[in-house]
Amino acid sequence: MAKIIFRKQEWEVPGGKTVREIVEELGLDLESVLATRDGQLINEETVVEEDDTIRLLAVISGGI
């Protein structure tokens, strides 16, 4: 199982799915999070492996 971490929440999910599929299954907005694995940014088409730990970071935007 892969571990997904977002803020103070953690989920265990089966590997073999893309970041996009997992984020959508968790009910999160794909445009509001960035995914990292081992401190490296990964894209939404990256396949999550069984022993991965994926950290989702909230996207913060602002401006005029």
Domain definitions of the chain by residue range: 2-58
What local confidence, expressed as pLDDT, does residue 21 receive? 98
Task: Tell me the pTM.
Answer: 0.88
Q: How many CB atoms lie within 10 A of CB 19?
A: 22
What local confidence, expressed as pLDDT, does residue 60 receive? 84
Segment 22-46, tens digit of pLDDT = 999 999 999 999 999 999 999 999 9
Asked if residue 63 has pLDDT above 90, the reply is: no
Alpha-carbon distance of 48 to 63, in angstroms, equals 33
What local confidence, expressed as pLDDT, does residue 43 receive? 97
Percentage of the chain beyond pLDDT 90 is 92
Looking at the domain 2-58, which fold is it?
A: Ubiquitin-like (UB roll) (3.10.20)
Mean pLDDT for the chain overall: 95
Please check whether residue 50 is in contact with residue 32, taking contact to mean a CB–CB distance below 8 angstroms: no
